[in-house]
Structure 1
Amino acid sequence: MTETPSIRDEIIGVVTHVAEPVSETPAVARRRRIVVVAVIVVGAALLSFSLSRKPGDPSFYWLTFGLAAVWAGGALLSGPLRYGSVPWQGRRRRPVLTGTLIGLAVGGAFVVGGLVARQIPPVAEFITRVLEFAHQGSLPLIVVITLVNGVAEEMFFRGAVYPALGKYHPVIVSTVVYAIATSAGGNPMLGFAAVILGGVCALERRATGGVLAPVLTHLVWGLIMVLALPPVFGL
């Protein structure tokens, strides 16, 4: 009689699972790499320009929607995107709960970190500069922008950049690339957040073989950052 795995064993299996890489033709791999390089340059430049706007400036909204279009368009142009799955109770399932719970955990950790960071004036100042875009602008529109860009970033960085790297340490390299592109705005706190979030999402990409879990994690994390973090800094 086969013993049914415990919930604890199932969770460990999900966390430690490494999805089998999908083999792509040389033509697809080459196209991914060309598209990835071009889109990163354009996206980083557009991100830097959008964050140079003053909080509340209407152009910020259009620029960030344009940035989302660049990331998503680059992802679709690079090649096939996959949702991914996780093993659970003997079946392959979409990682909806996985991505959501990890997003809550990462978002909660950032809020706790914010409580500490607000006691360090230089760090608090960098964080406040980013949060002012949510505080001084239209909150509903900022929420939409956060969600749209979260999906687009994961489509590109975990859906296009990650597989374009092949066997060249995709978890580490895709995270570094994401952090560098995000740091183009000139705020070191964005780069720091990108390392943490990007690393978690890259590990999810490795575990599930697709972008669904990273997308959900990014969406939940983004909502927490927009709605819960500003009050921590008195905004």
Structure 2
Amino acid sequence: MVTHNTDFLRERNEASTREILLAVVLPGALAALGLGIASHAPDGGVVFYVATFAVAAVYFLTWACFRTSRPLFDTSRLGKDVVRGLVIGMALLALFLAGALLVRFIPFLSEPVHALLDNARYGALWVTILTTAINGIGEEVYFRRIAFDRLPGTWLARAVMSLVLYIAVTAAMGVPLLALAAIAVGVAASYEARRTGSLVSPCVLHLSWSLSMLLILPHLI
């Protein structure tokens, strides 16, 4: 009987490990690959947009395959969560725009940002806005729900691991400031996801920050 129970626990752990590999590690690696391709693509070109949309597809397909009964969005407190997300997103925006005024004098940090923003300058702006928005929501669904729910440990341990994964995937773009942004956005979004039990506030703060940065930052750097 002891042997049988041990075998059962081993099989359950192995299944859990397989699920982590399929739902967390593999999608994260594919997303990093897609972002790496996008970062080396011609500015505003087809390859950039195909790669970034492919990354979003990875996030949403992973959710479709590994989603649970827990809903992504709680509409019962929609208004409050939208306001919370917007306020936090605008606070992050103010912080990063203030930092941008200093970063423009540091070539090591500003030049990769220039290269990333060239997609907005030379590509179709509406497509850039669309892919930024879709990827922002996809990141919240994947990192704050799918990856977080399947990683082992306490809430804090899972939050840290999902944040490290978020930073690692974002770093594939080769833009140092995006890694810093991933920390700020990731910490705020993780807190909001736990506090509200929903992804409304995380998505709103992510979109309000990222879309505002996309439209305003090219005029500062």
| Smaller-chain TM-score bracket | 0.7 to 0.9
User: Secondary structure of the equivalent of 1:93?
Assistant: helix
Give the structure 2 partner of residue 135 of structure 1.
121
AA paired with 1:128? H
Matched with 2:208 is 220
Matches within 5 A, 1:6-155: 33=20, 34-80=22-68, 82-83=71-72, 93-94=77-78, 95-155=81-141
Per-residue deviation, 1:61: 1.1
Structure 2 residue aligned with 1:161: 147
Q: Taking structure 1 as the reference length, what is the TM-score of the superposition? A: 0.79
Q: Which runs of 5+ in 1 are unaligned?
A: 1-24, 87-91
| Residues 130-183 of structure 1: CA deviation (Å, up to 9, x unaligned) | 211211211111111111111111111112111112434122221111000111
**Number of aligned residue pairs:** 204
Tell me: CA distance 1:65–1:102, structure 2 relative to 1, closer, same or farther (3 Å). Answer: same
The equivalent residue for 1:208 is: 196
| 3-state secondary structure, aligned to 1:226 | helix
Change (3 A) 1:28 1:114: farther
Query: Per the alignment, in what secondary structure is the counterpart of residue 53 of structure 1?
Result: coil
Larger proportion of helix: 2
1:19 paired residue number: none
CA drift at 1:26: 8.5
One-letter code aligned to 2:171: S
Name the SS of the counterpart of 2:47 in structure 1. Answer: helix
1:174 aligns with 2:158: no
C-alpha deviation, 1:217, in angstroms: 0.9
How far 1:63 sits from its partner (Å)? 1.5
Given that 1:100 and 1:217 are in contact with CA atoms closer than 8 Å, whether structure 2 keeps it comes out as yes
* Cα distance in 1 between the residues matched to 2:216 and 2:60: 27
Measured on the aligned residues, the alpha-carbon RMSD in Å equals: 2.3
Instruction: Find the residue that maps to 1:156 and give its secondary structure.
Output: helix
Q: Distance in 2 between matches of 1:186 and 1:120?
A: 16
Structure 2 residues without counterparts, runs of 5 or longer: 1-11
Deviation at 1:188, TM superposition (A): 1.8
Assess if the C-alpha contact under 8 Å between 1:50 and 1:63 holds in 2. yes
Q: Name the CA distance, whole Å, in 1 between partners of 2:57 and 2:95.
A: 29
CA displacement at 1:29 relative to structure 2: 6.2
> Could you tell me the TM-score, scaled by structure 2's length?
0.83
Shift of the 104–43 alpha-carbon distance from structure 1 to 2, 3 Å rule, reads same
Q: Give percent identity, aligned residues only.
A: 30
